[in-house]
A = this chain, B = another copy of it.
Amino acid sequence: MLEARLQEAALLKRLLDSIKELVTDANFECNEEGINLQAMDNSHVALVAVKLDATGFKKYRCDRPMPLGVNLNSLTKVLKCAKDDDICIIKASDDADILNLVYEARSSDRIAEYDMKLMDIDAETLGIPDTEYDARVTMTASEFTRIVRDLSQLGESVRIEVSKEGVRFASEGEAANGNVLLKQTEAAREKYANYGKEDEEPKEEDDDDDDDEEGSSSKKKIKKEKNMKKEDADVEMEGEEEDEDQEEFKPKSDDEGEEEQDEDEGDKKNGKKRKKAPAKSNGKPAKKVKKSDETPADGGVLIEMNQHVSLTFSLKYLVNFSKSSALSNTVQLMMSNDVPLLVSYKFGQGEIKYYLAPKIGEE
């Protein structure tokens, strides 16, 4: 038995808008901690992972873990029947063959109820390791959207290059080449000082003891990352059907990875973890990270990095990912060389993460 009451149907609607073109069917894995969805896109090039925390619901009850196999097109249709500010109650009985959605107007004078057929979907929940990345870029979602959309006019792919000074997105096309450089600014640094530290579990890291083992950890982390991959290989994407695309996901194996940029690395990497331990939160008061963030001004990025990274990705997917800007004002790009990019949008009740393998041939 699952019963989840959502304050606003809009959240689900936006969520579905974000992923429905990438994925057609997916299991909503419900357990007492919340609802998770994970799926490869239809061409098995990208992976999307959604997490909705139980705490984000007005009411949440899930007696036992259950996968709800949903056709996203159907769910999108049903969700279109909800008004944005309707209260939305989702129910499924233990046999999990029907998803029951109730939309209740704020005023309670309208109650709509929909039953949607569920389906059995092979559970391919992939264990995605909480990898460490060499570079993390935090920026406004709208700017990211803008950049990938702009560049997608020119060419098929974009090279993303991160250095301490900023991040550069560069594309080449028949008619024109273009690149956009976003500089790290003090304003951006302050703006995002607390990003992901409130309301949100970092989750992207697994070092639970402490966030700031600066120094020392660079190697460790890199190793850890690799380890993770190995360890979870069987449950990872690689473990799945052998798709040639798959290969891209487990990039070339690490030839380098011995370097130390301890201080920076430590800082960066632990940034997320450090949330609760306000070790050095720039002294900023804990601003609520509401739906996303409340910062209005565009421009500027926060760069956290150990190492210069330069990766090339298909713009088509990035444009697709960027639809999630409806869910959050802020996006984070996590990158390590030759490793899939992680694009993360955190919102009040959870997070949506996209993984995309880099183009190997560069271009």
Residues of A within 8 A of B (CB): 71, 73-74, 77-78, 80-81, 83, 105, 107-117, 143, 146, 150-151, 153-154, 175-183, 185, 187-188, 297, 299-300
Complex contacts, A83 vs chain B, CB 8 Å = 146
Q: How far is the CB of A338 from chain B (nearest CB, A)?
A: 27
Contact A175 B113, beta carbon cutoff 8 Å:
no
Chain B residue at smallest Cβ distance from A74? B175
- Complex CA gap A318/B179 in Å reads 37
Give the distance to chain B from A5, nearest Cβ to Cβ, in Å.
Answer: 18
- In contact, A116 and B150 (Cβ under 8 angstroms): no
Identify 16 residue pairs between A and B in the complex whose beta-carbon atoms are under 8 Å apart, listed by A's number.
A71-B175, A81-B150, A83-B146, A107-B185, A107-B300, A110-B143, A110-B181, A110-B183, A112-B150, A112-B178, A112-B180, A112-B181, A113-B181, A114-B154, A114-B177, A117-B175
Which of A113, A178, A188 counts the most B-chain CB atoms under 10 A from its CB?
A: A178
Residues of B within 8 A of A179 (CB): 112-114
Name the residue on B nearest A180 (C-beta). B112
Contacts of A297 in B (CB 8 A): 107
CB distance from A220 to the nearest CB of B (A): 34
Are A78 and B178 closer than 8 Å at their CB atoms?
A: yes
Are B115 and A188 in contact, with the CB atoms below 8 A? Answer: no
Query: Bound state CA distance, A175 and B77, in angstroms?
Result: 9
Residues of B within 8 A of A109 (CB): 182-183, 185, 187-188, 299-300
Report B-chain residues with C-beta under 8 Å of the C-beta of A300. 107, 109
A199→B110 CA distance, assembly (Å): 30
Check if B80 sits within 8 Å of A181, measured CB to CB: no
Q: Which of B78, B80, B176 contacts A74 (CB 8 A)?
A: B176
Is A81 a contact partner of B181 (Cβ separation < 8 A)? Answer: no
Indicate whether A77 sits within 8 Å of B110 (C-beta atoms), given known contacts A105-B299, A115-B178, A175-B117.
Answer: no
* Least Cβ–Cβ distance between A127 and chain B, in angstroms: 31
Name the B residues within 8 Å of A81 (CB-CB): 150-151, 153-154, 178, 180
Q: Which residue on B lies nearest to A153, using beta carbons?
A: B77
Expressed in whole angstroms, the Cα–Cα distance for A153 and B81 within the complex equals 9
Interface pair B299/A110, CB less than 8 Å apart: yes
**CB neighbours of A185 from chain B (8 A):** 107, 109
- Among all A-B residue pairs, the 3 with the closest Cβ atoms: A74-B175, A81-B150, A114-B178
Residue of B nearest to A143 (CB): B110
User: In whole Å, how far is A114's beta carbon from the nearest beta carbon of chain B?
Assistant: 4
Q: Which residue of B lies closest to A112 (CB)?
A: B180
How far is B166's CA from A108's CA once the two chains are assembled, in angstroms? 12
Chain B nearest CB: distance from A118 CB in Å? Answer: 10
User: Is there contact, CB below 8 Å, between A176 and B116?
Assistant: yes
Cα distance A73–B73 when bound, in Å? 35
Docked Cα-Cα span, A91 to B187, in Å, equals 31
How far is A80 from B111 in the complex, measured between Cα atoms in Å?
Answer: 40
Interface centre among A81, A115, A151 (most CB of B within 10 A): A81
- Indicate if the CB atoms of A182 and B116 lie closer than 8 Å: no
Add 20 more A-B contacts to A83-B146, A107-B185 (CB < 8 A): A74-B175, A74-B176, A78-B175, A105-B299, A107-B297, A109-B182, A109-B185, A109-B187, A110-B182, A111-B181, A112-B179, A112-B180, A112-B181, A113-B178, A114-B177, A114-B179, A115-B176, A115-B177, A116-B175, A116-B176
